[in-house]
Amino acid sequence: MSGTGNGTGTGKGTDRTDRSTHAVIVVGAGPAGLLLAGDLAEAGVPVTLLEKRPHKISNLSRAFGVHARTLEQLDARGLADDLLATGSTITQLRLFRRLSLDLTTLPSRFPFLLITPQYEVERLLERRARRLGVRFQYETELLALRQDADGADIDVRTGDGTTATHRAAYVVGTDGHRSAVREAIGQPFPGVSVITSLFLADVRLAEKPGSVLTVDGVGDVFAMIASFGDGWYRVMGWNRRNEVPDDHPLDLDEVKDVTRRALGTDYGMHDARWLSRFHSDERQAPEYRVGRVFLAGDAAHVHSPAGGQGMNTGLQDAANLGWKLAAVVKGQAPDSLLDTYQAERHPVGKAVLRSSGGLVRLARAQSPALRAVRAVVSALVKAAAPARTKALAQITGTGYRYPAPRGAHRLVGTRVPDVALRSGNRLYEALRGGRHVLITPPAVRLPHDATADGEHDSLPVVEHWTGDRRTALLVRPDGYVAWAADDADATAVEAAVAARFITAN
């Protein structure tokens, strides 16, 4: 597709060329696109969100697990409490038989996994994006993209068959695993298929399972039931003896049979509103940025559903890219800031691929050697606190840190937990609004303050520690440490504030 589109029509509708230049066009209104577009709009960047579907929200759902780090990002946008109200939480995360992780030890305001359908996440993100002024264009499919030094032309087709060409200074492809944007910029998507023929069903149950998440594997079958909390349950299953193509018919009897064999009962399931088969790949684009075009979410990486990482990782991509792109579009930051998106997010995508793939391989281990490895991994994680902490940090997304420049303070690049501030705010409340937050000892006074607006609207919000901590901390809009220093004076702090967009940290 790269460079081949010519903006001509299909013969069905009329052709249009939109001569105005959009600042940013985001392609794909899944969770990653919705969060990113909302962040850009909040920063005052005009943004258009194209989506080929008539309307994104439907009762079909893929992801159902929202991890702590994602809830923290949503908290920084004032959405976490609304999302919590839509689902149920679990505090034990079961990995294999007899091995589960205790989430209550997480150093987070959200020491649990929230079980809620993906459409609830999308509903909240879409409502926010609309409120902030994102221009939505549903039934608009990207067909081709050509970029030059100043921007990109994209050819689209709308629901009535009309084709049009839009121009944007920047384009972000959040258009899912079959990304047309990725194809258009010539990025390969190397990787392998990990599991074929998983099935999914959303059902009602006559009998309530004992916990929000029930999962087990016996012999050749595996099944999992998660409660959405609204009377609907998500069933996911797999039968090693029945690996068939995604389009092979699936009926409720097959779902019941596999569930009974794996969990001992089918809980009287009935009224399936959705039945589907899918296969799971592990793939990653080598470059998340090519010129003025970026990839985020499933367009950049896909992995097995083990550990529930896909949507969560995509939302973190969006949170990383949004404030950087806004700063560059507004002329506050040099273009090089955008290169840190690849430097920070590509390694995380790779780590997620490795860990979720490893979990699946161990879970479905058949050979005695692999079963022995699984036993050792289980024993290790059970017995050793550091191994448990590491596994927890990775799965929940709370443990990733970004590269820091040589000689930087040890906190630079790390995630900042939610801390109480002298103003009475929590950090993730102070982050609402998409600005940096500067936390200093009360004695360090700066010329601007937290109430600044207008010409100061991109300056950090200034907060103070509640106790007598001597570290000054500059927190990025995505909740990572941009700069830190112990016993810094106002001049050093001012210099760090002035340099906050030069590089990511």
Ligand X SMILES: Cc1cc2nc3c(=O)[nH]c(=O)nc-3n(C[C@H](O)[C@H](O)[C@H](O)COP(=O)(O)OP(=O)(O)OC[C@H]3O[C@@H](n4cnc5c(N)ncnc54)[C@H](O)[C@@H]3O)c2cc1C
Positions in the binding site for ligand X (CB under 6 A): 27-33, 50-53, 56, 62-65, 118, 141-142, 174-176, 180, 200, 236, 278, 297-298, 305, 308-312, 314
d(CA 73, CA 80): 8
What 3-state DSSP class applies to 329?
helix
**Given the complex with ligand X, which of 114 and 337 has the nearer CB atom?**
114
CA angle 147, 150, 154 (to 5 degrees): 35
Nearest CB to ligand X, comparing residues 67 and 436:
67
* Shorter beta-carbon distance to ligand X: residue 94 or 426: 94
Residue 454 Rama label (left phi>0; alpha psi -120 to 50; beta)? left
Q: Which is nearer to ligand X, 56 or 436 (CB)?
A: 56
Nearer to ligand X, 184 or 327 (CB): 184
> Minimal distance in Å, beta carbon 169 to ligand X?
19
Q: Which is nearer to ligand X, 54 or 231 (CB)?
A: 54
- Run of H or E including 352: helix 339-363
d(CA 295, CA 287): 8
Q: Which of 33, 6, 35 is nearest to 138 (CA)?
A: 33
Dihedral (Cα; 344, 347, 352, 357), 10-degree rounding:
170
Locus of tokens 């990002």: 73
Closer residue to ligand X in complex, CB, 119/483: 119
Q: Which is nearer to ligand X, 30 or 151 (CB)?
A: 30
Q: Are 177 and 304 in contact (CB under 8 A)?
A: no
Radius of gyration of the chain (CA): 24
What phi and psi values does residue 318 have, to the nearest 5 degrees?
A: -60, -40
Query: Minimum distance from CB of 106 to ligand X (Å)?
Result: 17
CB of 495 to ligand X, least distance (A): 38
Rounded least distance, CB 36 to ligand X, Å:
9
Take residue 118 and report the two structure tokens written for it: 């993906």
Distance of alpha carbon 277 from alpha carbon 274, whole angstroms:
10
Q: What angle do CA 323, 324, 329 make, to 5 degrees?
A: 100
Least distance (Å) from ligand X to the CB of residue 291? 19
Cα–Cα distance measured from residue 33 to residue 39, given in angstroms and rounded to the nearest whole number: 10
Angle between helices 385-396 and 368-383 (to 10 degrees): 100
- Considering the complex, state which of residue 122 and residue 429 has its C-beta at the smaller distance from ligand X: 122
Task: Report strand pairing: 191-205 vs 233-239.
Answer: antiparallel
Q: How near is the Cβ of 200 to ligand X at its closest, in Å? A: 5
What are the strands, taking DSSP E only, across 285-366? Answer: 289-290, 293-295, 301-302
Which 3 state secondary structure label does DSSP give 389?
Answer: helix
Rounded to a whole number of angstroms, the minimum distance from the CB of residue 215 to ligand X is 12
In angstroms, rounded to a whole number, what is the distance separating the alpha carbons of residues 423 and 464?
7
CB of 496 to ligand X, least distance (A): 33
CB of 327 vs ligand X, minimal distance in Å: 23
Minimum distance of ligand X from residue 66's CB (angstroms): 7
Residue 479 CB neighbour total at 10 angstroms: 22
- Name the minimum Å distance from CB 235 to ligand X: 10
Residues 6 or more apart whose CB falls under 8 angstroms from that of 434 comprise 39, 42, 43, 322, 323, 326, 477
- Between CA 503 and CA 495, with CA 400 as vertex, the angle to 5 degrees is 30
Q: Least Å distance between CB 303 and ligand X?
A: 8
CA distances, 186 to each of 8, 101, 293 (Å): 22, 41, 11
304/302 Cα distance (integer angstroms): 7
Residue 285's nearest CA partner among 296, 301, 297 is 301
Closer Cβ to ligand X, 58 or 336, answer by number: 58
C-beta of 395 vs 461, nearer to ligand X: 395
CB of 379 to ligand X, least distance (A): 26
Q: Closer to ligand X by CB, 141 or 494: give it.
A: 141
Say if strands 293-295 and 289-290 run parallel, antiparallel, or are unpaired. Answer: antiparallel
- Compare residues 12 and 178 and give the one whose CB is closer to ligand X: 178
